[in-house]
Amino acid sequence: MSAFSNTVAPIVITMGDACGIGPEIIAKLFRGAQAADCLVIGDVGVMRRAVRVTGGGLVVAEIDTPQAVAEVPPNAMPVLQAEALPLDLLDAPLGVIDARAGAAAARCVEQAVTLARRGAVSAIVTAPVHKEALAAGGVGFPGHTELLQWLATEPGGVPPPVRMMLANGELRTVLVTIHQSLRSAIDAVTFESVLDTLRIAQRAAFSWGQTAPRIAVAGLNPHAGEGGLFGDEEITIIAPAIAAARAEGIDARGPYAPDTVFMRARHAPGHPGEFDIVVAMTHDHGLIPVKYLGVEHGVNVTLGLPFVRTSPDHGTAFDIAGKGLADSSSLAAAVAMARRLASH
C-alpha cells in the first residue's frame, strides 16, 4: 500500500507538453519519496513512454479519482487519465512543437484546476508547457499564469489579480509584468500595477508564515533613473506606489537600482539578505538573477490564485526530450514548495 494517507488531499502534477521533458522529469520524481503524496493528470500512454525513456522499473497505475492515490502500491506512479485529449497524442514527435501537445497540456491544467477548486487536491504543480505549442493548439493564453488566472475567474466575474514569483532558497522575486513584449511591459508599469503587486506579495508572505516581510522594489531604469536623468518612472510611478503601500502598513522600500538590489536581497551563507522579497518591473529583470543561481533549485509560484500552484522554473527543453537526460530537481523543489504552501 502507498505511504500516503487518504485523510489529506494529494498534490496533482500536470503532464505538461507531451513532446518535451515534462513527462520524463515526472517519471524521475516518482522514483523517490518526494512524490509520495502526488498524482499525475495526463495521458497514461505518454507517461508510460516517459517511464521507458528514463529507464523503466516504475509501474504506471491508472486511477479514477484523486483519493485512489492511497491505494496505489509503492514504486508506482498514479495517473488520472485526462479527458478529451487528442487520440493520436503519442504520434506527436518528441522535441518538436505540436498543436496536439499544446492542446493536451492546457486540458490537463483545466482539469487540475477543477479538482483544486472542489478540494479534491491540495495543490497544483505544473510541468513545463511550450508557448508556441499552446498557440498552435488553439489556446488563447501565452502561458500558465494567464491560463490559470482565467480558470480561477468566477463566471461573469473579474479575473483575480495574479503575479508570478520565482523563488529558491536564496532569493524570491515577484514580477509586476510577465509575458509581453518589453515595449508593452514598460507601458504596463503603472501606479496601480505596482501597488497591486506589493499587496499581493505581502499577502503571499503572510500565507507562508512571514508576518513582516521586507519588500525591496527594483527600479525600471538604469540606476533606478538616477534622479530622472535616465527616465522618470521611478519618480512619477514607482515611488508613489511604494509610499501608498507603506501607508497601508506594507514594509516596501526603494526604488533601488535593479543591477544591485538582488545582491542585497540574496540570502547566502555568511550573507543574510536585507530583504525577503524583491519586486521587479519586468520579466527578465526579475527572473535572470534567480535562474542564474541555478534552475535546478528554482520554483515558479503563481500568487493571487484561490489555490496553490507551483512549477519548475525551466521550460520544455525540446533539445533533450526523449533522451532521459532531464533533471527533476526543479520539479522536486516545486512539489516541496507546494506542500509547504498548502499546509499553511
Question: Same domain, yes or no, for 148 and 204?
Answer: no
Question: Same domain, yes or no, for 184 and 311?
Answer: no
pLDDT at 267 over 60: yes
pLDDT at 303 over 80: yes
Confidence of residue 343 (pLDDT cuts 50, 70, 90): confident
Asked if residue 299 is part of any domain, the answer here is no
The average pLDDT across 30-39 equals: 91
Higher-pLDDT residue of 75, 302: 302
Q: Structurally, how many domains does the chain consist of?
A: 2
Which residue stretches of the chain are H helix?
Answer: 22-29, 44-53, 99-117, 131-136, 144-151, 182-188, 191-207, 233, 239-247, 261-265, 283-292, 329-342
pLDDT at 6 over 80: no
Asked if residue 109 is part of any domain, the answer here is yes
pLDDT tens, position by position, 86-98: 999 999 999 999 9
Confidence of residue 1 (pLDDT cuts 50, 70, 90): very low
Asked if residue 11 is part of any domain, the answer here is yes
What pLDDT is recorded for position 298? 86
pLDDT tens, position by position, 53-77: 999 999 999 999 999 999 999 889 9
Supply the range of the domain harboring residue 108: 1-162+304-344
**CA gap 298, 287 in Å, rounded:** 10
Question: Same domain, yes or no, for 104 and 68?
Answer: yes
Query: Grid coordinates representing 214?
Result: 521586507
Residues contacting residue 233 through CB under 8 Å, at least 6 positions apart: 186, 189, 219, 220, 221, 225
Question: Same domain, yes or no, for 218 and 148?
Answer: no
pLDDT at 201 over 90: yes
Beta bridge partners of 125: 13, 310
Question: Same domain, yes or no, for 189 and 109?
Answer: no
Question: Same domain, yes or no, for 108 and 197?
Answer: no
The CATH number for 29's domain is 3.40.718.10
Question: Same domain, yes or no, for 158 and 25?
Answer: yes
Confidence of residue 7 (pLDDT cuts 50, 70, 90): low
The average pLDDT across 279-297 equals: 90
Asked if residue 34 is part of any domain, the answer here is yes
pLDDT tens, position by position, 158-200: 999 999 999 998 999 999 999 899 999 999 999 999 999 999 9
pLDDT at 227 over 70: yes
* Boundary-marking domain end, from 250, 270, 293: 293
Query: Grid coordinates representing 288?
Result: 535572470
What pLDDT is recorded for position 179? 86
pLDDT tens, position by position, 114-153: 999 999 999 999 999 999 999 999 999 988 999 999 999 9
| Global pTM value | 0.92
| 108 φ, ψ (degrees, to nearest 5) | -65, -40
Beta bridge partners of 61: 78
Question: Same domain, yes or no, for 66 and 95?
Answer: yes
Question: Same domain, yes or no, for 131 and 178?
Answer: no
Question: Same domain, yes or no, for 31 and 151?
Answer: yes
